[in-house]
């Protein structure tokens, strides 16, 4: 699966990169891995050749909001510059 980034470039899906980005919001690494597993399943189930980074970001925020609301808020404000 390819990820279409905001700058319109593409990169390969990275499970490890997702775990790192989730854990940077303050989520314990074990929980970040579980959340990333759920998101990866969702991504790979999509019937598409690519997914946008914005779609992934929105899904992460949705997942974090359930168990880690303050971390979800931190994640939603984080933008790579």
Rounding to the nearest 10 degrees, give the CA dihedral for residues 63, 52, 79, 23: 40
Rounded to 5 degrees, φ, ψ at 12 are -70, 145
Give the residue from 47, 40, 34, 45 showing the smallest Cα distance to 12: 40
3-state SS of 20-39? HHHHCCCCCHHHHHHHHHHH
Please tell me the predicted confidence (pLDDT) of residue 79. 55
- pLDDT of residue 81 exceeding 60, the answer is no
Angle at 53 between CA 55 and CA 51, to 5 degrees: 70
Please tell me the predicted confidence (pLDDT) of residue 58. 93
- pLDDT of residue 80 exceeding 90, the answer is no
Please tell me the predicted confidence (pLDDT) of residue 15. 95
pLDDT in tens, 38-79: 999 999 898 889 999 999 999 999 999 999 999 998 888 765
């Amino acid at each position: 699966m390819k990820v279409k980034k905001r700058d319109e470039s593409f990169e390969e899906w990275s499970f490890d990169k997702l775990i790192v980005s989730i854990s940077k919001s303050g989520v314990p690494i074990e929980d970040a891995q579980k959340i990333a597993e759920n998101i990866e399943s969702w991504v790979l189930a999509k019937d598409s050749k690519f997914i946008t980074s914005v779609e992934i970001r929105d899904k992460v925020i949705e997942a974090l909001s359930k168990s880690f609301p303050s971390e979800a808020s931190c994640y939603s404000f984080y933008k790579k510059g």
